[in-house]
Amino acid sequence: MANTNQVSLGRANLTGNASNNRDLYLDLFSGEVFKGFQHNSIARDLVMKRTLKNGKSLQFIYTGRTKAEYHTPGTPILGNADKAPPVAEKTITVDDLLVSSAFLYELDETLAHYELRGEISRKIGYALAETYDRKIFRSITRGARNASPVSATNYTEPGGTQIRLGTATNGSDATNPTSLIAGFYDAAAALDEKGVSSDGRVAVLNPRQYYELIQAVGTNGLVNRDVQGTALQSGTGIIEIAGIQIYKSMNIPFMGKFGTNASLPLAGDFVGETMAADTAVTGNNYGSRNNYGGQVFGKSCGLIFQREAAGVVEAIGPQVQVTSNDVSVMYQGDLIVGRLAMGADYLNPAAAVEFVCDVAPSVDSNGVVNTSGAANF
């Protein structure tokens, strides 16, 4: 009996031999990882993103305000006497390599009646996207709690903003539509007063907050009602309040957790992961090279910001690596690794607003958040 002529499903252009009979499978998997990352990551496109090559960090330059002076006829114009505007810098360093991996035993794939690689690839993408967003949102929250990096005598640059939802010491104000809508207008006014551009203003809320606002659409005119039906509930930023697009995410600091806080009196509450300190490592340790906050963010309950609020630098964008050839033969399977190298930090605190509840923000005489007091939020 003659041998069959097998269709080379995994071999590119019918070329090669048994050692490269999975070329096309690898290409498909790579697409699945990046698709999973894009589906779950929203922060990447909402802040300033730069690609880093041949270096470990990127420098961002700030310029403060300057003054106008009257000219005396006959005198040369040689620049303001105070040498304004003041200049400062902010450096964002790339954190150490972030990976998510899985080993697939070839026999398991052969015996399984369901497709494994596509599902695992999406989960790897989700894991990378989750960490990516959490770093950015923590950076924005820290920005809302800090003064401007520009500091000079007789010059005051606006810092971050914290807005208390409601007036009582009640955590349920975090999901009260009336309190949320009032907070949006307060935030818009604060950003206007600080000279922050209205272009690119967004809000990121916890899903419970987002859906509370959706339910209020039909009962008041404060929420943009141009989009209705199923599109309204998609959670992709189609609702606007005061010109601010609204997104939802489980990855913002919310009442000291990522997810829903256990104190909300609702049946079936999901208790998200408790936030741990994430400060920059030193010496030969590996981890975050930027400070993402040692605070517990226990009273934080939403973010409003403009794209200048934070920056992210990428040395290695989200990508996938898969073992092959001798390694696959030795272990009779493939190790699949999703990886990226990025770092994030706040840039312009004036462009960051944090919602807090159950406590009033602590500010100094210039309206700048008192960071020593904010550590308890």
* CATH number assigned to the domain comprising residue 349: 3.90.1690
Higher pLDDT, 116 or 207: 207
- pLDDT > 70: percent of the chain: 73
Q: How many domains does the chain have?
A: 1
CA 349, chain centre distance (Å): 15
Q: SS3 sequence, 202-225?
A: EEEECHHHHHHHHHCHHHCCCCCC
- pLDDT surpasses 80 at 113: no
Q: What is the DSSP string of 117-156?
A: HHHHHHHHHHHHHHHHHHHHHHHHHHHHTS--S--BTTB-
Query: Which spans in 228-360 are helix H?
Result: 325-331
pLDDT band at residue 302 using 50, 70 and 90 as cut-offs = very high
- Which pLDDT does position 329 carry in this prediction? 82
Q: Summarize the confidence of residues 188-210 as an average pLDDT.
A: 92
Q: For the segment 115-132, what is each residue's pLDDT rounded down to a tens digit?
A: 777 788 888 888 898 899
What is the residue whose two structure tokens read 């730069």? Answer: 50
Higher pLDDT, 365 or 12: 12
Is 225 a domain residue? yes
Q: What is the DSSP string of 34-57?
A: HHHHHHH--GGGTSEEEE--SSSE
Is 8 a domain residue? no
pTM: 0.81
pLDDT band at residue 372 using 50, 70 and 90 as cut-offs = very low
- Which pLDDT does position 57 carry in this prediction? 86
Question: Do residues 299 and 163 lie in contact, with contact meaning Cβ atoms separated by under 8 Å?
Answer: no
Range of the domain at 272: 19-63+79-374
Higher pLDDT, 110 or 187: 187
The length of the chain in residues reads 377
- pLDDT surpasses 80 at 236: no
Q: Summarize the confidence of residues 329-356 as an average pLDDT.
A: 90
- Which pLDDT does position 314 carry in this prediction? 92
Is 259 a domain residue? yes
3-state percent breakdown (helix, strand, coil) of the chain, nearest 5: 30, 25, 45
Q: For the segment 152-172, what is each residue's pLDDT rounded down to a tens digit?
A: 777 778 899 999 998 767 778
**What residue type is 235 in one-letter code?**
G
Distance CA 339, CA 331 (A): 21
- Which pLDDT does position 376 carry in this prediction? 36
Q: Tell me the three state secondary structure of residue 62.
A: strand
Q: Tell me the three state secondary structure of residue 273.
A: strand
- pLDDT surpasses 80 at 147: yes
Q: Which strand (E) or helix (H) includes residue 178? A: helix 177-193
Ranked by mean pLDDT, the top range of 11-20, 106-115, 177-186, 323-332 is 177-186
The residue among 262, 260, 251 whose CA lies nearest residue 292 is 251
Is 112 a domain residue? yes
Question: Do residues 354 and 145 lie in contact, with contact meaning Cβ atoms separated by under 8 Å?
Answer: yes
Is 369 a domain residue? yes
- Which pLDDT does position 14 carry in this prediction? 59
Is 267 a domain residue? yes
Lowest mean pLDDT among 92-101, 145-154, 356-365: 356-365
- Which pLDDT does position 9 carry in this prediction? 53
- Which pLDDT does position 71 carry in this prediction? 84
How many of the other CB atoms lie within 10 Å of CB of 88? 15
- pLDDT surpasses 80 at 26: no
- Which pLDDT does position 364 carry in this prediction? 41
Question: Do residues 242 and 188 lie in contact, with contact meaning Cβ atoms separated by under 8 Å?
Answer: yes
Structure tokens at 293: 């906050």
Q: Summarize the confidence of residues 311-330 as an average pLDDT.
A: 85
Lowest mean pLDDT among 41-50, 182-191, 257-266, 335-344: 257-266
Q: Can you say whether the dihedral through the CA atoms of 147, 148, 154, 155 is positive or negative?
A: negative
Is 360 a domain residue? yes
How many of the other CB atoms lie within 10 Å of CB of 371? 16
- Which pLDDT does position 139 carry in this prediction? 95
Which residues does 72 contact at the CB level (< 8 Å), separation at least 6?
none
Q: Summarize the confidence of residues 274-296 as an average pLDDT.
A: 84
The residue among 190, 164, 143 whose CA lies nearest residue 367 is 190
Is 156 a domain residue? yes
Higher pLDDT, 271 or 355: 355
Ranked by mean pLDDT, the top range of 33-42, 102-111, 186-195 is 186-195
Distance CA 340, CA 315 (A): 8
- pLDDT surpasses 80 at 59: yes
Mean of the per-residue pLDDT values of the chain: 78
Q: Summarize the confidence of residues 38-63 as an average pLDDT.
A: 82
Distance CA 94, CA 59 (A): 12
